[in-house]
Structure 1
Amino acid sequence: MKFLMLCREPRLYSCRRLLDTARHCGHQMDILDPNRCLLKLSQNPPHFEVYYQTERGRSPYLLSGYDALIPRFGSASTYTGCALLRHFAAQGSLCLNDETAFLNARDKWRSLQLLAQAGLPVPSSLFAGSEYESKVAVRQTKSPLVLKTLKGSQGIGVILAEKPQSAVSMLETLGQANVPVLLQEFIAEAGSADLRCFVIGDRVVAAMRRQGGEEEFRANCHRGGRGEKVLLNEQQTRIAVAASRALGLDVAGVDLILSANGPLVLEVNASPGLEMIEKTSGIDIALQMIVYLEKKIAASVKMT
């Protein structure tokens, strides 16, 4: 089969692992930068075309014939990347996380709404319009508070405000910069730790406990956190799978935080990294992703 991975950094561990695994399984895989693509709509067949330019001054060439796409682009490329997913889907290619699911996960407030709508436990959260007074919004919850920009990854755009006055100041500053932010209760009892659950289809294939570094409230490995292998209980497993399903994802990194009232879904990642969790768990997650994609393609062919 012929796969296309959309990624701006092909040298990253996750991209290299998926490329090597796909080739080992007998498939062809291209890794292309979504920002080097031109999407074309026309009245005469084919209606959806994609052209790729390797570098400035070079003639672009037509992309076609992909059985499936694997999106691995960052938040800065979300709009272009998702437009590409829709374009290729119109050509008949399958996506390991389609455009709608990807957009659901990339917008933190939208994802929280969908999770809560599905009956899943999430931290108490607030999102105010630009004309809603910041100090009034802050009064509707208790401190400390976590401020999160609606788009961001690897812990970037996540700020701890220990006092109400700090939260108000941060909200006003970000508001002046037209950066939308949500407010969320700080789960102190979690001790700067969370659970990263790697979900493929209807299974949690690997999990690890992430512990934040010294003087760091974020557990992200990119912020100095460390990981250790963990076995989830039945409730944690059920919540992780349900969270991925609620956003429509085939593959997800579901982050759970353990509160005094039980596990809460903190965040759902549509393109979770493989390096730390593969090394921590000892599980070949890249292979499981490719096998799942093979089965998805086979099921699609059978249906037609």
Structure 2
Amino acid sequence: MNILMLCREPRLYSCQRLKEVAEQRGHTMDILDPNRCLLKLSANAPHFAIYYQDSAQASPRLLPQYEAVLPRFGIASTQMGCAVLRHFTAQGAVCLNEDQAFLRARDKWQSLQLLQQAGVAVPSSGLAGCEFSAKQAVAQMDSPTILKTLTGSQGIGVMLAEKAQSAVSILETLKEANVVALLQDFVSEAENADIRCFVVGEAVVASMQRQGQQGEFRANFHRGGLAEKITLTPLQQSIAIQATKALGLDVAGVDLIRSEQGLLVLEVNASPGLELIEKTSGVDIALAMIMQLERKYHHAMKKPC
């Protein structure tokens, strides 16, 4: 296959691993920044054209029709990245995480709604309209309270308010800045730990437990969290796969936490990093992803016209 990876940082570990494995399996792979693309719709062929500009001074070039696309772009590139994905889908390419699924996962509130609708347990959460009193919104939640901006990754945009008064102050500040945030009950019994499940297709291919440092409620690696290899129970695997399906994703990093109510899905990441979990678990996740892309491509090729 002629594969395209959409990513702004081709030197990242995840990008390099995926490119290495793809080439080992006889594929070619380009890594391009979706923000350097120009999308064109036309009455004449090609109806869905994509031009790429390597630099501000360079002349744009028409991109070929890739057979498969791997989206690995960050939060800041979500809108343009998904628009590029739609263009390639219209050209007939298969995508390992299609644009609508990607958008669902990137909106933290919508993803929680969809998970709950699918019967997947999530922490008690709330979203208040701009005219709803911050004080009354916080009053509907337990204290301490987590506040999360609707977009964000690596623990950025996640705040812990130990007291209700602090939560009100933070929420009022965010509202004044036109930043929409959701409220979530802090699950103290999780003890600053979560379980990352890496789902590819309909299987959990790797897992690890992350533990936040002393005084840090976030277990993210980028916030100093530590990781250890674990073996998931059948129930944990089932929940992770169900959460991935609920959002329509092919690949996902599903974060679980233990609570008094049982296992809860904290978040579903549509572009999970490979470095920490590959090194912790010893699993070749990049190979699992490329093989899933191959299966999806061959399945698409067998469909009748």
Match of 2:291? Answer: 291
* In structure 1, C-alpha distance between the alignment counterparts of 2:171 and 2:132, rounded to whole Å: 11
- State how far apart, in whole Å, the 1-side matches of 2:272 and 2:138 are: 31
**Structure 1 equivalent of residue 271 of structure 2:** 271
Alignment-derived partner of residue 281 in structure 2: 281
In the TM superposition, 1:168-207 aligns within 5 A as: 168-207=168-207
What's the counterpart of residue 2 of structure 2? 2
Partner of 1:17: 17
**Which residue is equivalent to 2:105?**
105
What is the identity percentage for the equivalent residue pairs of Structure 1 and Structure 2? Answer: 65
In structure 2, the partner of 1:137 is 137
Q: Does 1:92 align with 2:92?
A: yes
- The runs of 5 or more residues in structure 2 that have no matched partner are none
Structure 1 residue 234, shift from structure 2 partner:
1.2
What residue in structure 2 maps to residue 82 of structure 1? 82
Q: Which residue of 2 is the match for residue 114 of structure 1?
A: 114
2: CA distance, partners of 1:228 / 1:60 = 46
Query: 1:43, 1:109 → 2: CA distance?
Result: 38
- RMSD of the TM alignment (CA)? 0.6
Deviations for 1:38-80, whole angstroms, at most 9, x for unmatched residues?
0001111221110000001111101122111000000000000
Amino acid at match of 2:103: L
Q: Which residue of 2 aligns with 1:244?
A: 244
Structure 1 position 213, deviation (Å): 1.3
- 1:1-29 per-residue CA deviation (whole Å, 9 max, x = no partner) reads 10000000001000000011101111000
Aligned to 2:217: 217
TM-score, normalised by the number of residues in structure 2: 0.99
Residues 22-31 or 41-50, more deviating: 41-50
Deviations 1:102-128 (A, max 9, x none): 000000000000000001100000000
In the alignment, what sits opposite 1:166?
Answer: 166
Counterparts of 1:15-54 in structure 2, within 5 Å, are 15-54=15-54
The DSSP-based 3-state class of the residue aligned with 2:207 is strand
Q: Aligned AA for 1:185?
A: D
How far apart, in 1, do the equivalents of 2:12 and 2:155 lie? 18
Contact 2:65 2:88 in 1 (8 A): no
**Quick one: distance in 1 between partners of 2:133 and 2:18?**
47
Q: Distance in 2 between matches of 1:130 and 1:109?
A: 15
TM norm structure 1 = 0.99
8 Å CA contact 2:193–2:212 kept in 1: the answer is yes
Deviations 1:164-187 (A, max 9, x none): 000000000000000000000100
The 1-side partners of 2:263 and 2:296 are apart by 31
Q: Which structure 1 residue ranges, 4+ long, deviate > 4 Å from structure 2? A: none
- The separation in 2 between residues aligned to 1:258 and 1:231, in whole angstroms, is 15
Amino acid at match of 2:261: N
Q: Provide, for residues 116-160 of structure 1, a one-character-per-residue CA deviation record: whole Å limited to 9, x for no partner.
A: 000110000000000000000111111000000000000000000
What is the one-letter code of the residue matched to 1:32? L
Size of the aligned set, in residue pairs, is: 304
Q: Which residue of 2 aligns with 1:233?
A: 233
Query: Hey, what's the Cα distance between the residues in 2 that align with 1:226 and 1:49?
Result: 45
- Structure 2 CA distance for aligned equivalents of residues 189 and 50 of structure 1: 50
Question: Structure 1 unaligned runs (5+)?
Answer: none
SS in 2 for 1:280: helix
Q: Distance in 2 between matches of 1:4 and 1:124?
A: 39
**How far did 1:244 drift?**
0.2
Distance in structure 2 (CA, Å) of the matches to 1:113 and 1:165: 27
Paired amino acid for 1:95: C
